[in-house]
Amino acid sequence: MNHLIAPSMLASDFSNLKSEIMMVNESEADWLHLDVMDGMFVPNISFGMPVIKSIKKYAKKPLDVHLMIEKPERYIKDFSNHGADILTVHFEACNHLHRTIDAIKKEGMKAGVAINPHTSINVLLDIIQYLDLVCIMSVNPGFGGQSFIEHTYQKIDALKKIKTEYNRQLLIEIDGGVNLQNAKKLIDSGANVLVAGSSVFNTNNPSETISELKRIN
């Protein structure tokens, strides 16, 4: 499959959020990536249900919602009701991961699991067959604009091998430090969803940057 581009709206201009959403709608982007942070699981607070509801009102593309929160199972139904199409929870935040994934799917959303840079791919062996997506964090979660962690390539390679054996339809998403300089290597390594925040919204022409990321092959 061709790779997907998911601009991270946390890096957008929130004083002009509607126009930023419209720009993504009209661009070659595939998803809108929304980072929800609670100030507990990660040392930052972003946005919650009201903002997601507002984004859904104008978005013409799927909402890829990434929960960087403790006990995400408490809010699965709420995120479904507010328009999430893909819901990703952190392995490190879930005591009963299989139950949480099952609950996400029962709400009609695609289910993803994210892992932090220090977490081994191997922790997913018992759950990977049930997943639609694995999000590999290529920076420490919580803040945008961080430098890409090079060990990510080895993790993609390891996940690709597991995917081949257990779940060939799995999407491999990379989140953090993705830019025009490393995107091709990430795709060649096996990534098929690239989350890009600062590298898109901090440019003079975000739509063109999205197109450049999309055209990489």
Sequence ranges of the domains in the chain: 4-215
> Over pLDDT 70: what percentage of the chain?
97
Per the prediction, the chain carries an average pLDDT of 95
Can 35 be counted among the known catalytic residues? Answer: yes
What is the domain class of 4-215 according to CATH? alpha beta
> Which residue among the candidates 13, 30, 35, 38 is catalytic per the annotation?
35
* pLDDT bucket at 206, cuts 50 / 70 / 90: very high
pLDDT per residue as tens digits for the range 167-202: 999 999 999 999 999 999 999 999 999 999 999 999
pLDDT per residue as tens digits for the range 105-114: 999 999 999 9
Residue 11: C-alpha distances to residues 8, 149, 200, 206 (Å): 6, 19, 8, 11
The DSSP line for 84-140 is -SEEEEEGGG-SSHHHHHHHHHHTT-EEEEEE-TTS-GGGGTTTGGG-SEEEEESS-
> Which residue among the candidates 13, 132, 175, 188 is catalytic per the annotation?
175
